[in-house]
Structure 1
Amino acid sequence: MEIRFDRALPVDRDDVEDELNDALGGFGEVSGAGSGAFGAHLDVDIDPEAERDEAVDRVLGVLGRLGLAGLARIRPGDGTEWIDAGAA
């Protein structure tokens, strides 16, 4: 799964990673990250046996709790479709 933030994050990226790792429990974890002047991204490895919708819901829940939904979009990894976290 890929998570993109199109603007600078108003919270520390490490805090976002920690929250995602906690929420994903045993079936996923943040595996990579990067940031620049115009935004950031996180790569999240999800167990192939995990339910796609459950993983997406957990990620969206974290983004919402941290106030980042309007800044983020996610690509679940099973195609090219991006989900606007603010509209989900």
Structure 2
Amino acid sequence: MSARAPAAFPAAARRFAAGFSFGALLTWLFRRDAQRRSRRRLAELEDHLLSDIGVTRAQALAAAERPDTPAPRWDAPARWHG
């Protein structure tokens, strides 16, 4: 049995099917879930603990309320976005 997509599929679908890995999908889902839990736990910290790590209550709440849309792997400060 061939792992290649049928020729009737568009080129983009063939590229996706060729690079698809169930293990990669699971890894992505687990990372997203861990990220979501981390953001929620950050918002639950007390103010003195947030100040120890240099985060304000408003920043912690904003992070916890972020939608679960695909986010960049690295969030640069706004001043770096030229």
TM-score (norm. length: structure 2): 0.28
Q: Which structure carries more helix by proportion?
A: 2
* Larger strand percent: 1
Q: TM-score, normalised by structure 1?
A: 0.27
